[in-house]
Amino acid sequence: MISLLVEVINLYMEKRTLYQITNVSKINNLPKDASFEDCLCCMLEQDFKYNKYIHPDTLQIFKHKLGLKINFENNYFKTNEKEYKISYQLKCAFFILKYLRKYACSEISNYFFENDSKYGKLSKNIKVEVRKPGILDDHTNYRVDIELKLINGYKIIIEINENAHEDDGKRIKELNRARQLLDDDKKICKFYIIREKFVKSNYKNLRYIIKKKIIPFMNEILHLHNERSYVINKLVELTFEEWRPLCELTYDSHLDPKKPIIDIRLLNNFFDFEWNNNFKLIVKQILDSQIITTNTNLNYDDLDDLLSDVEMSDDEDNKNEIENVENYYLEEDNNINLTWKGFNTYLTFIVKFLDNINKTKTINEFNYKIHTEFVNVLKEQRNHLINLNESYKIWGYRNEDYNFI
């Protein structure tokens, strides 16, 4: 009895899972003891030409379980030796996911797709037939064909317009709808309108849009809105891939300059030079010279009178603070971790202790690129963000967007 109950529950959960994957609501009308095969039959009974709510993953399930043949030139798909008419929208959506899965980098591909042993290669974080509320009227909904939610929360909308959308009145409505959605949801970075008029039945045109337009834009959004990743990758490009660990520590230390996070052992290994005791000696000399300078400045008899009527800001007070070792490094368990100031001190003075000209050249080169190019990279990122904000956010509405054809 218990085993029968468990079986019924599993069948119900499978119905629910298939409904969530496919958007085929009629699955819910099947009996509680309906099998997976019953669900497949129910899915095949749908109208794939006019039912706009069917998820392209439905076709993936057919492909995995029944063997599906679909050609972008045809207006049908074939399974079990039977042809099923299909809408241009659903066909495009199927191939959009296919090319996204195939050509996106592993980070994006793994985020948007997973391989299920029972159902095949399914999408995730991708919504179809999404309803968006209107701006002025909550009862007015705006539908979008595909919504891709990126790793960092930003979104890309893809709308597939058949030839029936090409008259001037409908095109104006499409443009207004896209503008309202962009204005209402600030997380939407781009609105792509894929038009049958230009793509036609040529899969290469659709593949070009995904491979050359949408995926590069995804990469740009992910890097620009992840400053750490963007800056580190740029620093690696300016140096060498082997320098990535050091570039990562450089960025993290610059972001939190008082925190001792750069292990001196990494620097020593990187530059192939043991430089612990002399580094501590240099810091001691810096601190000693600071005390001498400070005491010398205090020799003025009338210094208190000069400052008595001056309100000093916190920054001014900090300038007169005497630094200590912790401003440069923290030593624990015979290991030294450098702050941003300690890191720069290391790079500045280590060359004075080297007798290898090649090592000196390497350190000077790294020092130059870190300090000169670091600011340039941040400025470049800012310029990219400005250009992104000022760019045209709707692609495909203008005929010239398809000049690649």
- Out of 193, 225, 257, a domain closes at 225
Average pLDDT, the chain: 83
256 in the same domain as 280: yes
Q: Give the model's pLDDT for residue 39.
A: 92
Q: Give the model's pLDDT for residue 308.
A: 41
Q: Specify if 397 maps to a domain.
A: no
272 in the same domain as 209: no
196 in the same domain as 81: yes
Q: Give the model's pLDDT for residue 307.
A: 36
Q: Specify if 404 maps to a domain.
A: no
Q: Specify if 113 maps to a domain.
A: yes
Domain total for the chain? 3
| Cα angle 375, 379, 382; round to 5 | 145
273 in the same domain as 177: no
Among 109-113, 336-340, 361-365, 371-375, the range scoring the smallest mean pLDDT is 371-375
305 in the same domain as 250: yes
Q: Specify if 66 maps to a domain.
A: yes
65 in the same domain as 187: yes
287 in the same domain as 187: no
What percentage of the chain exceeds 90 in pLDDT? Answer: 45
Q: pTM to 2 decimals?
A: 0.69
Q: Give the model's pLDDT for residue 139.
A: 56
Q: Give the model's pLDDT for residue 216.
A: 92
Q: Specify if 328 maps to a domain.
A: yes
219 in the same domain as 254: no
- Out of 225, 252, 279, a domain closes at 225
Contact residues for 55 (Cβ-Cβ < 8 A; gap 6+): 21, 22, 23, 128
Residue of 19, 41, 24, 147 whose CA lies nearest to 93: 147
217 in the same domain as 83: yes
137 in the same domain as 30: no
Condensed to tens digits (0 to 9), the pLDDT of residues 266-298 reads 888 888 888 899 999 999 998 988 755 544 444
* 170 has a pLDDT exceeding 80: yes
What is the average per-residue pLDDT within 186-209? 94
Distance CA 194, CA 208 (A): 12
pLDDT band at 306 (very low <50, low <70, confident <90, very high): very low
The domain in which residue 285 lies consists of 229-387
Q: Give the model's pLDDT for residue 135.
A: 56
136 in the same domain as 63: yes
pLDDT band at 142 (very low <50, low <70, confident <90, very high): low
What is the average per-residue pLDDT within 300-311? 40
Backbone φ and ψ for 209, nearest 5 degrees, come out as: -60, -45
What is the average per-residue pLDDT within 302-325? 52
Distance CA 2, CA 335 (A): 61
β-pairing verdict for 126-133 and 141-149: antiparallel
375 in the same domain as 317: yes
